[in-house]
Amino acid sequence: MSTDPISEFPFDEVLLGDRLAQHLASEVARRVYRSGDQLPPETALAKHYHVSKPTMRQALQKLAGLGMVRIQHGRRTEVLDESNWDVLDPVIQRALTAAGRKEELCRHFWEVREMLEVAAAGHAARRASAEDLDQLDSAARELRTIANTSQDLRRFLEIDRLFHDVVTRASGNPALRSVLTPVHTFLNNILWEAESRVQAEQLVQLAEQHGRIASAIRGHDPAAARQAMAEHISFAEQEEFPARPNAV
Ligand SMILES: [Zn+2]
Whole-number Cα distances in Å, 27 to 10, 47, 76, 84, 110: 19, 17, 17, 16, 25
Q: What is the rounded distance in angstroms from the CA atom of residue 225 to the CA atom of residue 211? A: 11
Average pLDDT over residues 147-173: 94
Residue 209 CA, ligand 1 centroid: distance in Å = 8
Between residues 13 and 231, which one has the greater pLDDT?
231
Residue 66 CA, ligand 1 centroid: distance in Å = 29
pLDDT band of 244, cuts 50, 70, 90: very low
Q: What is the rounded distance in angstroms from the CA atom of residue 69 to the CA atom of residue 164? A: 34
Residue 28 CA, ligand 1 centroid: distance in Å = 33
Residue 200 near residue 151, CB atoms below 8 Å: yes
pLDDT at site 78: 96
Residue 166 CA, ligand 1 centroid: distance in Å = 11
pLDDT at site 197: 63
pTM here is: 0.83
Residue 165 CA, ligand 1 centroid: distance in Å = 10
Residue 112 near residue 176, CB atoms below 8 Å: no
Q: Does the pLDDT at position 96 exceed 70?
A: yes
Residue 30 CA, ligand 1 centroid: distance in Å = 32
Per residue in 75-87, pLDDT (tens digit) is: 999 999 999 999 9
pLDDT band of 12, cuts 50, 70, 90: low
pLDDT at site 242: 52
Residue 151 CA, ligand 1 centroid: distance in Å = 15
